[in-house]
Amino acid sequence: MILISACLVGHRVRFDGGVKTNALMLKYNERGHFITVCPECFAMLPIPRPPMELQHTTGQKVLAGKGRALDKTGKDTTDYLITGAEKVLKIAEAYHVRVAILKESSPSCGTHLVHTGDFDGKKAKGMGVCAALLEAHGIKVYSDEEMTVGRLESLIAEDKLHDKA
């Protein structure tokens, strides 16, 4: 199975109660290829909630205790992001997941970019906390923005071969 951010397939789990539905991901989700996850929901954060951002850091640094996350009100949300990531990792391990497709720019799921921490819409290179934890445990993470039909078909085929082995 392939992990996927729940917001990409229509689950209203984003901080504002919205979704970031991706038509391609939705189509393949209906075929039963994905396990949907939301680290922030698994951390018991409410919906809606204030937006949160990593504070001029990366998910790797947060996991190493060298960075933090705050929501727009100034509340420290670091522990929530770590808790949610750890719960997603447990699910990934239980299902022998090797691949995850995550929502770009999220403080949890960003794979290449995260918001800078100034709540001004700007982004910087880096991974979110969940993406970094999954990658540290050998799970290949991809951004929703880099998915094409061909790439997705290839990942699904590889996953099926792995399941048969």
Please write the tens of the pLDDT for every residue from 78-123.
999 999 999 999 999 999 999 999 999 999 999 999 999 999 999 9
Token pair recorded at residue 109 = 């799921």
From 13, 3, 20, 68, select the one nearest 45 (Cα to Cα).
Answer: 13
Q: How confident is the model at residue 161 (pLDDT cuts 50, 70, 90)?
A: confident
Would you give the DSSP letter of residue 76?
B
Which residues, other chains included, contact 6 with Cβ-Cβ below 8 Å and sequence gap of 6+? Answer: 13, 36, 37, 38, 41
- Model pTM score: 0.95
Which residues, other chains included, contact 132 with Cβ-Cβ below 8 Å and sequence gap of 6+? Answer: 58, 59, 60, 62, 63, 85
133 neighbors 43 (Cβ within 8 angstroms): no
Provide the pLDDT for residue 137: 98
Rounded to the nearest 10 degrees, the angle between the axes of helix 78-94 and helix 129-136 is 40
Provide the pLDDT for residue 159: 87
Q: How far apart are CA 9 and CA 37, in angstroms?
A: 10
